[in-house]
Amino acid sequence: MTEATAQIPPGAVKSLGKPAPRRRGIASVNYWWFLIPAMIGVFALIAVPIGFSVYFSLRNYNLQLGSDSFAGIDNYVRLLTGRNADFIAALGRTLLYVVVVIALDFVLAMSQALLLFSMRAGWAKFWRAIFILPILIIPTASAVFWRNVMYAPHNGEFLKVLGLSDVVSPPLGDPQLAFWAIIVTVVWAWSPWVFILLSAGLDQIDKSILEASMVDGATYFQRLRTIILPLMKPVIFVTLSFKALDSFLAFPFVWIMTMGGPGNSTHVLSTYIYQQAFTLLDYGNGSAMAIVMLVISGGLSIAAIFIWQRFYGKEA
Amino acid sequence: MRLVRRGLRNIPRAVLLIVILLWVLVPMYFLVVTSFSAEGDLLPGLVLPTAVTLENYIGVFTGANAIWPALINSTVVTLASTGLALLIATPAAYALSHMRHKKLGRGLYLSFFVLRGIPPIALVMPFFLIFSRSSMLNTLPGLIIALTPLALPYCVWTLRVTFDQIPKEVEEAGAVDGAGKWRMFTSVVLPIAAPGIAATGILTALFIYVDYIIVSPLAGPSTYTFPIYVTSFSQDFVQLVGPLSAASIVGAIPMAIMFIVSQRFSRRLASAGIH
């Protein structure tokens, strides 16, 4: 699951609470048998394919050139010494994408959540339904729609609404603008997931604390800074770290809207590797890049876990 | 006077709400209007349409390029992958919930989180090469196999929280009655965990349903799922925007259903997680 997978499991957002009760009585019983199906699944469906990827990454396996020979670590050396400038650029752009997307998602989703927080339940429910409308349009559909209607080369509605259609060139055809145009679409289409999670977290805050501070005459921003945000910190962190990890794997919006163009100016890692493999048929190089990407993604996941444990202690 | 002051205080909030609504709804407005417009009509900005037609929707349901095969493929693939993932993830999540106070159990659990972050591109390439040699490209079983590893770590990760919330007294009572481990799991724990499993299943299905990166290289003309079907409208900038918009809205219906059903559990699940 890629960006299409901005999947943030609700269950993972845990915080602001008592630790779950221990169950000592039955803890001694062995539960290994229950793990076996999942172990087989992980081995057959994840370990074996990744093993194949590692195998191909050590070969010059290029169907376009018809080459298939052992290459040792040549593919990796080429990537890690920066001789493939496009790959390095795609890596940098992916990190920029992650930072910009989570920043914009956070500002938008937090504003939405805070707006609803101060409303009566009925209205909050109504606006919540409106705010999540964009995620009902599946990502590939959103991407094609924005590409062909909002950003259409002639008469794109996006620029017309902003009154810029005579000033700015069609965004997806402009190497300076295309990347940012994609980000606008991504934030429109997928920020509601962040909103759902932040809003659910906000609902857990004990309103009596806030009422007490209102009696004390605290202004809205004082309350936000000293009460709401500190209480929300764990929820915010978990939500955004999930979003960041998933954004690192971003694929469908970039691939559908620009295929990495114009002139490689919008490639992120997934789309660049996809192009190496399925357009240029260079599976050796593609596999090596995929493995490098996997290592980075694994490192980010592990980093996220360590930071979580600082928030929740080891139990989380 | 107090009313006026209260009104003034609400102005920034109202402005913010309006800005957000414009941001969310203006593209939605164009999507809906385009789906009811004749071929190639784009509005001259934010105005009301002059003519309304249903031909795009009729085309989506009856034309040569109708939506049905894609929707059927999507349904089969989504149900099968999600079912398979839940089947093997549920016992594992149960075991990990019991092992969560041991170092090994926690390490295994966290490793599923790391597996969740595996780039799909690293999986789809080998699947493509394997399937092209075993003639499994363009088959539904191939898609189901390749989509399951996306769902599996997510299911384990989310389901453990569900099992964590079952009070230990429930199982202790079962243990007094002499239920074995497997019977305890199937007849005591599973019924209690069912809503949580359903919610996880629906959210997993939602993400499988929209997947593009795995399905796109592995599917062929007879196994296109809905997300691939939609991209078939992307070639022509002018002619196909109407059918595209209609198809997008039709494809949003399963999303909405899954979403509404999951809300029945998942607000609970989300809040249970956040408590």
CB A189 within 8 A of CB A137: yes
Nearest CA in chain B to A203: B271
- Whether residue B139 is contained in a domain is answered as yes
Asked whether the beta carbons of residue B207 and residue A148 sit closer than 8 angstroms, the reply is no
- Whether residue B255 is contained in a domain is answered as no
Residue A284 has pLDDT above 80, yes or no: yes
| DSSP-based three-state secondary structure for A59 | strand
Helix ranges (DSSP H) in chain A: 32-42, 48-57, 74-80, 85-117, 121-131, 133-136, 139-145, 157-162, 178-202, 207-215, 220-223, 229-248, 252-257, 269-274, 283-312
Asked whether the beta carbons of residue A146 and residue B266 sit closer than 8 angstroms, the reply is no
Q: Is A150 on the interface with B (CB under 8 A)?
A: yes
CA distance linking residue A220 with residue A213, whole number of Å: 10
Residue A28 has pLDDT above 60, yes or no: no
- State residue A169's pLDDT score: 83
Domains: count for chain B: 2
Same domain, B134 and B51: no
Residue B43 has pLDDT above 90, yes or no: no
Asked whether the beta carbons of residue A12 and residue B158 sit closer than 8 angstroms, the reply is yes
Beta bridge partners of A282: A62
Residue B22 has pLDDT above 80, yes or no: yes
Asked whether the beta carbons of residue B25 and residue A133 sit closer than 8 angstroms, the reply is yes
User: What mean pLDDT comes out for the span A210-230?
Assistant: 81
Same domain, B90 and B27: no
Same domain, B178 and B46: no
Residue B213 has pLDDT above 80, yes or no: yes
Same domain, B84 and B194: yes
User: What mean pLDDT comes out for the span A200-223?
Assistant: 80
Q: Which of B120-134, B168-182, B195-209 has the lowest mean pLDDT?
A: B168-182
CA distance linking residue B133 with residue A137, whole number of Å: 35
Nearest CA in chain B to A146: B27
Residues within 8 A of B (CB atoms), A 194-223 only: 196-197, 200-201, 203-204
Structure tokens at A169: 């060139």
CB A148 within 8 A of CB B34: no
Asked whether the beta carbons of residue A136 and residue B252 sit closer than 8 angstroms, the reply is yes
Same domain, B82 and B178: yes
- Residue A29 CA: distances (Å) to CA of B51, B111, B175: 70, 22, 11
- Residue A113 CA: distances (Å) to CA of A14, A194, B19: 18, 10, 14
- Whether residue B265 is contained in a domain is answered as no
Q: Is B135 on the interface with A (CB under 8 A)?
A: no
Q: Which of B121, B215, B225 to mutate to test the interface with A (most CBs of A within 10 A)?
A: B121
- Whether residue B249 is contained in a domain is answered as no
For residue A99, the one-letter residue type is V
Query: Looking at this predicted complex, what is its ipTM?
Result: 0.90
Share of chain B above pLDDT 90, in %: 51
| DSSP-based three-state secondary structure for A68 | strand
Same domain, B168 and B86: yes
Same domain, B97 and B228: yes
CA distance linking residue B43 with residue B56, whole number of Å: 16
CB B86 within 8 A of CB B204: yes
Q: Is A287 on the interface with B (CB under 8 A)?
A: yes
Query: By C-alpha distance, which of B104, B79, B142, B257 is closest to A31?
Result: B104
The CA-CA-CA angle for residues A46, A142, A261, to 5°, reads 75
Query: By C-alpha distance, which of A280, A267, A278, A312 is closest to A94?
Result: A267
User: What mean pLDDT comes out for the span A152-173?
Assistant: 82
Q: Which of A60-69, A249-258, B133-142, B236-245 has the lowest mean pLDDT?
A: B236-245
DSSP conformational letter for A172: G
Residue A18 has pLDDT above 90, yes or no: no
pLDDT tens digit string along B215-271? 999 998 899 999 999 998 887 666 688 889 999 999 999 999 988 888 777 554 443
Q: Is B15 on the interface with A (CB under 8 A)?
A: no
User: What mean pLDDT comes out for the span A147-171?
Assistant: 83
A41 vs A310, more confident: A41
Residue A1 has pLDDT above 60, yes or no: no
CB B126 within 8 A of CB A56: yes
User: What mean pLDDT comes out for the span A26-31?
Assistant: 60
Same domain, B127 and B41: no
Chain-centroid distance of CA B243 in Å reads 23
For residue A254, the one-letter residue type is V
Residue A6 has pLDDT above 80, yes or no: no
Which range of A182-186, A229-233, B61-65 scores highest in mean pLDDT? It is A182-186
CB B94 within 8 A of CB A31: yes
pLDDT tens digit string along A61-109? 988 888 888 888 889 999 989 888 999 999 999 999 999 999 999 999 9
CB nearest A4 (choices: B31, B212, B272): B212
pLDDT band at B167 (very low <50, low <70, confident <90, very high): confident
User: What mean pLDDT comes out for the span B200-218?
Assistant: 93
Residues within 8 A of B (CB atoms), A 20-39 only: 20-23, 25-27, 29, 31-35, 37-39
Residue A122 has pLDDT above 80, yes or no: yes
pLDDT band at B170 (very low <50, low <70, confident <90, very high): confident
pLDDT band at B3 (very low <50, low <70, confident <90, very high): low
Share of chain B above pLDDT 70, in %: 91
Q: Which residues contact A175 (CB under 8 A, 6 or more apart)?
A: A262, A263, A265
Q: Phi and psi dihedrals of A62, rounded to 5?
A: -130, 110
- Whether residue B203 is contained in a domain is answered as yes
- State residue B5's pLDDT score: 67
Q: Is B121 on the interface with A (CB under 8 A)?
A: yes
CB nearest B168 (choices: A21, A153, A274): A21
Asked whether the beta carbons of residue B125 and residue A204 sit closer than 8 angstroms, the reply is no
The CA-CA-CA angle for residues B216, B113, A42, to 5°, reads 65
pLDDT band at A29 (very low <50, low <70, confident <90, very high): low
Same domain, B146 and B109: yes
Which residues from A are below 8 Å from B91, CB to CB?
Answer: 34-35, 37-38
User: What mean pLDDT comes out for the span A161-177?
Assistant: 84
Which residue range(s) make up the domain with B32? 2-60
Beta bridge partners of A59: A70
- Whether residue B250 is contained in a domain is answered as no
Considering chain A, what is the average pLDDT of its residues? 85
- State residue A68's pLDDT score: 86
Residue A12 has pLDDT above 80, yes or no: no
The CATH number linked to B198 is: 1.10.3720.10
Q: Spelled out in words, what is the top-level CATH class assigned to the domain A72-205+231-312?
A: mainly alpha
Q: Is A254 on the interface with B (CB under 8 A)?
A: no
CB B180 within 8 A of CB B197: no
Q: Which of A301-305, B28-32, B233-237 has the lowest mean pLDDT?
A: B233-237
A77-81: long-range contacts (C-beta < 8 A, 24 or more apart)?
A78/A285, A78/A288, A79/A288, A79/A289, A79/A292, A80/A292
Helix ranges (DSSP H) in chain B: 2-35, 55-62, 68-98, 103-116, 120-133, 140-164, 168-176, 181-183, 190-209, 215-218, 226-231, 241-274
CA distance linking residue A15 with residue A232, whole number of Å: 9
Whether omega before A230 lies within 30 degrees of 0, making that bond cis, reads no
CA distance linking residue B112 with residue B106, whole number of Å: 10
Asked whether the beta carbons of residue A139 and residue B34 sit closer than 8 angstroms, the reply is no
B192 vs A184, more confident: A184
DSSP conformational letter for A69: E
- State residue A65's pLDDT score: 85
Among residues B60, B77, B96, the one where a domain terminates is B60
Q: Phi and psi dihedrals of A304, rounded to 5?
A: -60, -40
Could you identify the residue written with the tokens 């934030």? A187
Residue A193 has pLDDT above 70, yes or no: yes
Which residues from A are below 8 Å from B113, CB to CB?
Answer: 301, 304-305
Same domain, B146 and B47: no
CB nearest B45 (choices: A34, A145, A160): A160
Which range of A83-87, A308-312, B186-190 scores highest in mean pLDDT? It is A83-87
- Whether residue B170 is contained in a domain is answered as yes
B232-236: long-range contacts (C-beta < 8 A, 24 or more apart)?
B232/B65, B233/A144, B233/A148, B234/A144, B234/A147, B234/A148, B234/A256
Query: By C-alpha distance, which of A72, A226, A301 is closest to B109?
Result: A301
User: What mean pLDDT comes out for the span A54-58?
Assistant: 94
Q: Is B46 on the interface with A (CB under 8 A)?
A: yes
Asked whether the beta carbons of residue B251 and residue A141 sit closer than 8 angstroms, the reply is yes
- Whether residue B54 is contained in a domain is answered as yes
CB A186 within 8 A of CB A253: yes
- State residue B176's pLDDT score: 72
Residue A7 has pLDDT above 50, yes or no: no
- The ranges assigned to domains in chain A are 72-205+231-312
Same domain, B144 and B37: no
Asked whether the beta carbons of residue B16 and residue A115 sit closer than 8 angstroms, the reply is yes
| Chain B nearest CA to A4, separation (Å) | 6
A219 vs B243, more confident: B243
Considering chain B, what is the average pLDDT of its residues? 87
DSSP conformational letter for A119: S
Residue A8 has pLDDT above 60, yes or no: no
Cβ–Cβ pairs < 8 A, chains A and B: 350
Same domain, B55 and B153: no
